[in-house]
Amino acid sequence: MNVADAVMLSVSGDRTLPEPAPKPLIEISDVEKIFGGGEIRALSDINIAINECEFFTLLGPSGCGKTTLLRMIAGFEHPSSGNIMLAGKDVLSLPPRARSVNMVFQNYALFPHLSVAQNIAFGLEMLNWSKFEISERVAEVLALVRLESFRSRKPAQLSGGQQQRVALARALAPRPQVLLLDEPLSALDLKLRKEMQFELKQLQRETGVTFVLVTHDQEEALAMSDRLVVMSAGRVQQLGTPQEIYGKPANRFVADFIGEANLIPGGLLGRRRDVTLSIRPERIEIATVSSFVKLYGVLKAATFLGADTLMEIEAGGIVVRARLRGAQMAAPGSEIGLCWPDDAEWELRE
């Protein structure tokens, strides 16, 4: 599945429509994080509001500060300045165990000496739930993640996908207001990852809990999120729905990081020289009528990819990539004219 399909799925899928006027559950305002005596700015100027019942994603390359931000919500890290509110309450002074926020760790961090059921019951025991309530709730979440028959196994006796589901069940059991997921799918193989993406999304809908996911995988972020934020170098680059971020990237970084983008200098198309146009490869077509042509180029290579053909066309000193449906017949070296609908152009404001 490529990025374009991921967006399509996200649009046409049975996505529940957002509530009218959602109210923010987590408000992150002016958060900064400075390490090493002011030399390293891990986060600066972070302002994010995450709504109730939302699947929200922090997306960015490694080292962009997304995990630090997630750990701040959990209470494991503290901002150098700024504020974090949870359900209208300032939580900065609260330790992790005083926040009704639970985390699914990257390596799951399951207690190796406890069984699946004991792992899930751990948080409930710490909250001093009664024995009866605990056994009820454990059975409930075990059913939710479909692990009823594994309740007495130890984590070491489970596959990666099963461990993942135990970690989810353990974090969901105490009914947190927010579930934090730190790259939860990165340890799984591709096929399982796709399955779990779907399961996670479904689980979020069923439970109605706010999910905050950290990932560096843009496809994953687009497919699962209601809204996401793209981060780079400790700053928010863009915040919006997957469609907004894919279709209207705020800057060169976002356009390049999310899917593939042709960044065409405005001068090449007879526009102002100081603008750059972002055009997705799948929106570009070969013009059949010369009056439609927006850009002429020379075909360098055509790669047949099964469903699509990827063409690389050199035009005015840059290489434009076009993804065309089906097998395309064109000899390298031939001159071709490219065209695209007007709404495929997105002017990048640098």
**Who's near 32: CB < 8 A, 6+ residues apart?**
41, 43, 44, 45, 46, 79, 80, 81, 82
Which of 74, 255, 261, 336 binds other proteins (CB under 8 A)? It is 74
* CB closer to other proteins, 64 vs 167: 167
Q: Is 304 in the site for other proteins (CB under 8 A)?
A: no
Determine the interface stretch with other proteins among 36-44, 70-78, 80-88, 229-237 (rule: CB under 8 A). 70-78
Determine the interface stretch with other proteins among 69-77, 196-204, 331-339, 340-348 (rule: CB under 8 A). 69-77
Q: Give least dist CB 248 to other proteins, A.
A: 37
* CB closer to other proteins, 112 vs 333: 112
* CB closer to other proteins, 79 vs 176: 176
Q: Is residue 26 a contact partner of residue 70, using CB atoms and an 8 Å limit? A: no
* CB closer to other proteins, 47 vs 152: 152
* CB closer to other proteins, 154 vs 271: 154
Which of 15, 41, 153, 154 binds other proteins (CB under 8 A)? It is 154
* Residue of 310, 230, 271 whose CA lies nearest to 65: 230
Site map 166..205 versus other proteins, x via CB under 8 A: ----xx--x-------------------------------
* CB closer to other proteins, 171 vs 224: 171
Q: Give least dist CB 142 to other proteins, A.
A: 17
Which of 38, 88, 97, 191 binds other proteins (CB under 8 A)? It is 97
Q: Give least dist CB 109 to other proteins, A.
A: 4
Q: Give least dist CB 96 to other proteins, A.
A: 5
Q: Give least dist CB 122 to other proteins, A.
A: 5
* CB closer to other proteins, 127 vs 318: 127
User: Contact positions toward other proteins, by CB under 8 A?
Assistant: 74-76, 95-97, 101-103, 105-107, 109-113, 122-123, 126-127, 154, 156, 170-171, 174
